Structure formats: structure tokens, C-alpha cells
Amino acid sequence: MQRRKALTAVAMMGLAGCAPLPIPPAEPPAPPAPPAKPPAREFRAAWVATVANIDWPSRKALSSAEQIVEIHALLDRAAALGLNTIILQVRTSADALYPSALEPWSEYLSGTQGQAPEPFYDPLATWVSEAHARGLELHAWFNPYRARQSQARSAAAAGHLSQTRPDWVKRYGDQLWIDPGEPAAAAHTLAVVRDVLQRYDVDGIHIDDYFYPYPVQDGNKQELDFPDEPSWQRHGRASGLSRADWRRDNVDRLVQQLYQLVREAGKPWVKLGISPFGLPRPDLRPAGIAGFSQYDKLYADVERWLREGWLDYLAPQLYWPRAQTAQAFEVLLDYWHGQNPLGRHIYPGLFTSRISDKADSWPVDEILGQIALTRARAPGSGHAHFSIVALAQNRRGLADALLAGPYAEPALPPVMPWLAPRP
């Protein structure tokens, strides 16, 4: 402060016509701080969504050769970028992206549900082998309850649950949904996961945020209740629970059984990951956080799953910019770390596909900043990008910025000490 006053006085004397005094040279600027060294271990993942052909295949009815070319291109991009994990959607709507005796082929391959690739190949086996050849983990991503998605166009195959077990499947809005209150339907979902674990060398099992469906409204803007009256009468009413608590218990039991299944499948290194909606239950929220309640609407008690240790990693979908106060990224990240007494891994999901060629695109710096916050809060943890298409297209130079910054050095996936090492 004294030096600034002295320099100001000298300048004023010069302006008044006095002989200027020599001005000492300015202090050289401080050298820039060296960039933080990237962690040696960090979960760097991208979701590959197959539903509605979001990521792969790029459209229905590509030839088998064209689908395989796209697999190679996406995996090459992932490896070159420095990712170490791919989360591939293999069950979008009680269907399969692999040959299955339990569920029909997905329509997002051929355009027709139940139709195998021609000439035949096994997409999941190809993804696994090609990912491993590039040093990438492959996590198989399942939707546990959806039976038909809004953009589906194919007629249901004869072997689809809507045809073989219509008592399990309910129409809700413009989708079909497997009723979580039907124990046999939950057992079927577990059998689907068990089949993949036994037949494929996957590194992880993954489920997303679709439990009970997101609410829809009728023509009068009234929220529709999920049509589970038959299962409530058969299985819920005698439980002594409220309808809401019974629904949460249905989801809790599936998550617990899924974790037990993964642990008991003879591959003790396989990880179970869950990527729920990112907001906490209302009664536990930090000050200022507001918005949709998955606890009350999806019947997902995510805090309990962390507390019980029914997963190996949580990837909460923190799909908001840092400056959005009611869903502040940093506050939510701290919250989920604070709900983790057993030290499971927390890898926030980033809405990377909000970077686009549209006027409302996020800036690339938003994703870089969210990665920096994640590293500052929990060095060596990691994050997942939704979805790989934004990275593959290098939108607004995003891939270049990642390579020049946070991905300048490669990283291995974090070690989970409670799991056996992969042989």
C-alpha cells in the first residue's frame, strides 16, 4: 500500500510540470503456478447409450460390419482421450444387446425387436474384447424396470415380457413398465444380470436412475399414480408398510439382491455401480438445495444404499452447472461424499452432452471446472460423462481441451480395497 501511494505521488508531480523523478521498474510478474499433476488413479468413464440410438449404433439397421466399425471408432476415441471405463447399455427395455434366451434382441440394432444381427455377431462380446484390447474396463448397464421406451417403434417380439408376462407389465404414460412390486419380475431381472455375469468377462454391472418411473401427467395436468394396485393387494397391503414405504422396500430389496448376486457370482472383482438422480431426499438436503425428490417419486432411497454398502460406486447424476444455486454442483458433491460411511467410491455423472452446437450450449470450461472440483474434493476418485457422443464429436473442442488439461496424463481406475483384485 505504501509503495502504491509513493508511485501515485510521483505521477502527480510529473503531471504538475515538475521534473519527473525516475520510476523504479515494475516488479516482474510471479511465474504461473504449475498445473496440478493428474492423479495416477481416477475413474474416467463415459456412458454409451443404446436406447433410441443415442450413442451406438448411430441408427437402426446398420449392417453388422458398420456396427463393428462404429464400436472400434468409439473405443479408439475413448482410449486416445484417456478414458479407462466404458459403461455400455445392454438392456434398455426388457431387451438384449446380446444373444439371450431370456429376452429378445433390442430393436435399436436392426429396427425390429427380436431380430438378430445379420450376419450374426455378438455385440456385447465384441464390446468386451475390443475394450479390453485397448486397456478399458467394460461395465454392463441394465435398466431394471422399463419394458418399452417412448421412442420405440417396433412391435413387441413374441418373447418380450409384455407378451409372455403381461401381468408384470403396466402402461404408464407412453411407456411400458415392469411392476417393481412383483417379486417374480424382480427375480427375472436378477436372472438377466446373472446370465451376463456368467457368460461375459465384464468388469462391472451398472444400473441407472429408472426405478419407479418419473411421474407423468394426464390431460388435466394431474400426476398419474403408478398402476400397481394388483401387486399392492397381493404383496403390499399385508406388509404393514405405507404404500410409499412398500414401494421403496421393493426397490431396496432389488438393489440389495443385486449386490449379493454380484458378490456371489464367482467373480469377486466385478463392481456394482448405480447412477441415480443427483438430488438428496428432501429431509436431508443442504440449505438452498431444491428440486425433484427421487425418494418420494422414484421410491429410491439412495442414502440407505450407501449406508448399507449395497454398491461399490455411486455415480450421482449432477447434471447442473456450478452456478445453478438450487442444484449447486459443489454442494451436491460434498453432500454425497458426506453420506458415505463405508467409503464407497463417489464418481459424479457429468452432463457432458450439454455441450453442443446450439446457442444454449454449456461452455467447455463448465466440464473442466466440474472435473477440477471433483479432484479438489476427492483426489483419485473420478467422474463419468453422459454421454460418449459429445466426446467422439469433439464438440466445441471438448476432447482437445480434456487432453490438454485434466487428461494430459493417463490414469488407472481406482482400487476398491474391499474387492478381490482381478486375476
Q: Measure CA 394 to chain center.
A: 19
Angle at 337 between CA 335 and CA 212, to 5 degrees: 70
pLDDT at 244 over 50: yes
From the list 154, 72, 37, 2, the residue with the least C-alpha distance to 407 is 37
How would you write 52-92 as a 3-class SS string? HHCCCCCCCCCCHHHHHHHHHHHHHHHHHHCCCEEEEEEEC
Per this entry, what is the length of the chain? 423
pLDDT at 2 over 50: no
Residue ranges with strand state E in 93-211: 137-142, 146-148, 169-172, 175-178, 204-207
What domains does the chain contain, in order, with CATH numbers? 40-404 (3.20.20.80)
- Cα 320 to Cα 369: distance, rounded to the nearest angstrom: 12
- Cα 205 to Cα 53: distance, rounded to the nearest angstrom: 21
Give the mean pLDDT of the chain: 92
Q: Where are the alpha helices (DSSP H) in 157-281?
A: 161-164, 183-199, 229-231, 243-263
Query: Is residue 259 a contact partner of residue 207, using CB atoms and an 8 Å limit?
Result: no
pLDDT at 6 over 50: no
CA-to-CA dists, residue 368 to 43, 375, 406, angstroms: 15, 11, 7
Query: Is residue 118 a contact partner of residue 142, using CB atoms and an 8 Å limit?
Result: no
For residue range 318-350, what is the model confidence (pLDDT) as tens digits? 999 999 999 999 999 999 999 999 999 999 999
For residue range 146-162, what is the model confidence (pLDDT) as tens digits? 999 999 999 999 999 99
For residue range 345-382, what is the model confidence (pLDDT) as tens digits? 999 999 999 999 999 999 999 999 999 999 999 999 99
Q: Measure CA 402 to chain center.
A: 19
Which residue in this structure is represented by grid cell 467422439? 392
Q: Where are the alpha helices (DSSP H) in 325-396?
A: 329-338, 364-377, 388-392
Q: What is the mean pLDDT of residues 241-258?
A: 98
The pLDDT > 90 percentage for the chain reads 90
Angle at 38 between CA 201 and CA 406, to 5 degrees: 85
3-state secondary structure of 381: coil
pLDDT, residue 328, reads: 98
- Cα 297 to Cα 215: distance, rounded to the nearest angstrom: 7
Number of Cβ within 10 Å of residue 46's Cβ equals 28
Q: Which residues contact 387 (CB under 8 A, 6 or more apart)?
A: 46, 47, 48, 49, 54, 55, 352, 353
Question: Residue 363 corresponds to which cell in the numbers above?
Answer: 461452455
From the list 314, 214, 338, 299, the residue with the least C-alpha distance to 259 is 314
pLDDT, residue 38, reads: 74
Phi/psi at 95 (nearest 5 deg)? -130, -175
- Cα 420 to Cα 423: distance, rounded to the nearest angstrom: 9
Query: Is residue 94 a contact partner of residue 103, using CB atoms and an 8 Å limit?
Result: yes
pLDDT, residue 36, reads: 61
Residue with more model confidence, 79 or 4:
79
Question: Residue 158 corresponds to which cell in the numbers above?
Answer: 413374441
Q: What is the mean pLDDT of residues 184-205?
A: 98
Query: Is residue 87 a contact partner of residue 129, using CB atoms and an 8 Å limit?
Result: no
Q: What is the mean pLDDT of residues 173-179?
A: 97
Q: Which residues contact 229 (CB under 8 A, 6 or more apart)?
A: none
For residue range 22-73, what is the model confidence (pLDDT) as tens digits? 333 444 444 444 456 778 999 999 999 999 999 999 999 999 999 999 999 9
Q: How many CA atoms lie within 13 A of 65 on its CB side?
A: 0
Query: Is residue 197 a contact partner of residue 250, using CB atoms and an 8 Å limit?
Result: no
- Cα 224 to Cα 108: distance, rounded to the nearest angstrom: 29
From the list 355, 209, 227, the residue with the least C-alpha distance to 279 is 209
pLDDT at 91 over 60: yes
Query: Is residue 216 a contact partner of residue 224, using CB atoms and an 8 Å limit?
Result: yes
- Cα end-to-end span (Å), the chain: 64
